[in-house]
Amino acid sequence: MALGVLVGYARVSAFDQDYSIQTEKLVQSGCSKVFAEKQTGTSKIDRPELASCLSYLRENDTLVITKIDRLARSARDLHNILFDLEQRQINLMVLDQKIDTRTSTGKAFLGMLAIFAEFETNIRKERQLEGIAKAKEKGSYKGRKPTARVKRPEMLLLLEKGLSKPKIAKELGLSVASVYNVLKEKKEG
């Protein structure tokens, strides 16, 4: 059995966050290539760097991440990714939790962490909703600021320059759906 390479994946949830600490750890751990992105981790959909990373990996390679929640926030997504990796004979190493799926202990521990990661996400959502409800009772909740509509002039300028709607979304740090919706509103209004 030939020994594969270590391939890293780093992720932060927001565009104003920095993944350099993660990428440094991954490089220091021996990763020959590192994929990094700024995307939410609640689903593996719309995570192009994760998709690129997963397709880059070959048999006997090891996917290296710093924490389990960088890869997935739901047990289902994590189990699906792990199943895919296992079918392709690709290992997983989680640096901060010291998990290595090349061992049976590592596989068992990883399964337990997936359940706790999902539990933590659900608890965080509940706390957030409770906080919003209390703020609404006090009359102090205003909701989040509309980001897409505020950027309508920039969208129109980029559209006039010939950029596609997906490229406009990427340029402005918005979802493609937001760009389509705002530009649709402009046509109707």
**What's the CA gap between 11 and 29, in Å, rounded?**
17
Both tokens of 167, joined, read 């490229």
8 Å CB contact between 61 and 20: no
Question: Catalytic residue among 13, 29, 74, 175, which?
Answer: 13
Where helices occur in the chain by DSSP H, the ranges are 20-28, 48-56, 75-87, 104-138, 147-150, 152-160, 165-172, 176-188
Q: Is 13 a catalytic residue?
A: yes
Burial class (CB in 10 A: 0-12, 13-18, 19+), 5: middle
Q: Which residues are designated catalytic?
A: 13
